[in-house]
């Protein structure tokens, strides 16, 4: 009995000692020990803290507001605001986690809806169709190719199907056609495969006179140009190689028809050349170089036409330069309008201010910043209007909000997000209807 009593007293004293020791431990230490979790770290200062201010930093979101970029919010349930510069609203369309979204564009794929859908192509080979509804965005995932998708075209290529189709392809060399239905459904099927090649750029339309209808032009890596037509048996497509190309075409746009009535296409290549391909009915298009430099070219964009003014095209260099070309005959005059961060991956002209006489173009790239260039009286200025959480890869103009008089911007990249930038409600409108500021 005495032994049992002694053991009991010893156990009580042991419990008391442990309790006192625990109470003297720093708060939370026992929890870390019990769960085997590491204690919270003190984050080191980021590399850009304390650096000199640059001209483009003046309008950038502050450090305090930038913290809100990663706050949770589900855009399928509600409008999710993001930090933006004064005079701009930013919102989240989709957060794809760590999976990058390489190409983004707004097209009216689902004709049952008045608002165009935002199309995003991601690193795992998914085509994301984002359907908007009162600030919310619902994704429809179509195509599961396993490797990144990049090329995108939207046109009525197949006369056997009513309406326009969406075409996409990527790293695996597979080309897909997406078709929508009146009930809101979308399906996809593979229509071509380019073994050992990546699909980087797609164009569509009645471009090559050797075919009777519309076709898809496919630019591949290694450098090559292919024509895909809906002329096969039993609803199939046919692929015809047109020619090898000296460099990878990263972007292309249709200039229109020349004086002889033949279609001209402008291409921007990694080899630093801007080439015009003229499809005159021969086995291969005629080619001429209108600009060449010892630095890769990335993106192309065309300014909306202005009455009495020449056609204008913007192009980006990998070293951060943005060029402005005045289109005209054999001589393409150009000027450098911006010396920016290296790696521009998006250039988007549009009406982004209430003063329509001001020429505006937005740029996005590896800096993660969306920067707005404005030209007033032959002088260009730049300001940051948004900063994403990682490097940018695509930027496109879109008309998605009727509450202002300006164009919206959609962007995507390594941050795994699609974001939407717009002017506030009432901006640039001449009527007297009241407007409520969007919560941020």
Please write the tens of the pLDDT for every residue from 375-384: 998 899 999 9
User: What would the DSSP string read from start to end of 71-134?
Assistant: S---TTTS--EE---TT-EEEEEEE-TTS-EEEEEEE---TTSSSPEEEEEETTSEEEEEEEET
pLDDT at residue number 139:
97
- Other beta carbons within 10 angstroms of residue 421's beta carbon come to 26
Q: Give 330's pLDDT tier (boundaries 50, 70, 90).
A: low
pLDDT band for position 329 (50/70/90)? low
70 SS3 class? helix
Give the model's pLDDT for residue 51.
33
CB 423 within 8 A of CB 435: no
Average pLDDT over residues 356-371: 97
pLDDT at 296: 96
Peptide bond just before 222 cis, omega within 30 deg: yes
pLDDT over 90 (residue 299): yes
CA-nearest of 377, 376, 364 to 410 is 364
Please name the helix (run of DSSP H) or strand (run of DSSP E) that holds residue 145, with its range, or none: none
Encode pLDDT of 172-184 as tens digits. 999 999 999 999 9
Measured CA distances, 343 to 155, 291, 421 (Å): 30, 19, 21
Q: Is the pLDDT of residue 353 over 70?
A: yes
DSSP 185-234: -EEEEEEEE-TT-EEEEEEEES--TTSSS-EEEEEEETTEEEEEES-SGG
Average pLDDT over residues 114-140: 97
310 pLDDT band, cuts 50/70/90, is confident
Is 17 in a helix, a strand, or coil?
Answer: helix
Share of the chain above pLDDT 90, in %: 75
Higher pLDDT, 170 or 20: 170
Q: CA 399 to CA 164: how far, in whole Å?
A: 19
Instruction: Measure the CA dihedral 151/174/218/220, to 10°.
Output: 90
| Per-residue pLDDT reduced to its tens digit, 60-118 | 444 443 434 445 699 999 999 999 999 999 999 999 999 999 999 999 999 899 999 99
- Assessment of whether the complete model's pTM goes beyond 0.85: no
Out of 9-18, 219-228, 337-346, 413-422, least confident range? 9-18
Q: Domains of the chain (ranges plus CATH)?
A: 57-422 (2.130.10.10)
The answer to whether residue 397 scores a pLDDT higher than 60 is yes
Contact partners, residue 330, CB within 8 Å, separation at least 6: 288, 290
Element (H, E) at 151: strand 149-155
């Amino acid at each position: 009995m005495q032994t049992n009593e002694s053991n009991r007293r010893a156990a009580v004293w042991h419990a008391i000692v442990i309790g006192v020791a625990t109470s003297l431990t720093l708060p939370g230490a026992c929890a870390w020990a019990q769960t085997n979790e590491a204690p919270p770290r003190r984050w080191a200062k980021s590399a850009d803290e304390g650096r000199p201010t640059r001209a483009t930093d003046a309008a950038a979101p502050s450090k305090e507001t930038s913290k809100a970029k990663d706050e949770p919010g589900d855009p399928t349930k509600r409008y999710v605001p993001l930090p933006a510069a004064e005079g701009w609203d930013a919102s989240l369309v989709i957060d794809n986690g760590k999976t990058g979204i390489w190409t983004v564009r707004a097209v009216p794929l689902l004709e049952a809806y008045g608002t165009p859908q935002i199309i995003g192509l991601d690193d795992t080979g998914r085509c994301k169709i984002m359907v908007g509804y009162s600030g919310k965005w619902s994704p429809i995932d179509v195509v599961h190719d396993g490797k990144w998708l990049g090329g995108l075209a939207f046109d009525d290529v197949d006369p056997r199907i009513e309406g326009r189709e969406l075409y996409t392809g990527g790293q695996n060399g597979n080309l897909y056609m997406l078709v929508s239905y009146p009930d809101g459904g979308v399906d996809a099927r593979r229509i071509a495969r380019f073994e050992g090649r990546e699909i980087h750029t797609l164009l569509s339309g009645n471009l090559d006179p050797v075919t009777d209808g519309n076709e898809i032009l496919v630019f591949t890596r290694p450098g090559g140009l292919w024509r895909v037509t809906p002329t096969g048996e039993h609803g199939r497509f046919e692929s015809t190689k047109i020619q090898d190309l000296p460099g990878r075409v990263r972007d292309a746009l249709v200039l229109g028809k020349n004086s002889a009535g033949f279609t001209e296409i402008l291409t921007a290549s990694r080899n630093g050349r801007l080439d015009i391909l003229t499809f005159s009915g021969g086995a291969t298009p005629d080619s001429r170089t209108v600009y060449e430099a010892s630095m890769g070219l990335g993106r192309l964009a065309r300014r909306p036409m202005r009455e009495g003014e020449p056609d204008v095209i913007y192009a980006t260099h990998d070293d951060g330069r943005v060029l402005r070309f005045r289109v005209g005959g054999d001589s393409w005059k150009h000027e450098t309008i911006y010396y920016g961060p290296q790696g521009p991956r998006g250039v988007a002209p549009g009406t982004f201010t209430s003063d329509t006489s001001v020429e505006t173009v937005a740029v996005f790239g590896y800096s993660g910043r969306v920067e707005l260039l404005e030209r007033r009286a032959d002088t260009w200025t730049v300001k940051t209007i948004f900063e994403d959480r990682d490097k940018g890869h695509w930027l496109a103009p879109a008309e998605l909000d009727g509450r202002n008089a300006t164009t919206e911007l959609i962007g995507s990249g390594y941050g795994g997000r699609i974001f939407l930038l717009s002017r506030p409600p009432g901006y640039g409108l001449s009527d007297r209807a009241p407007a409520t500021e969007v919560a941020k």
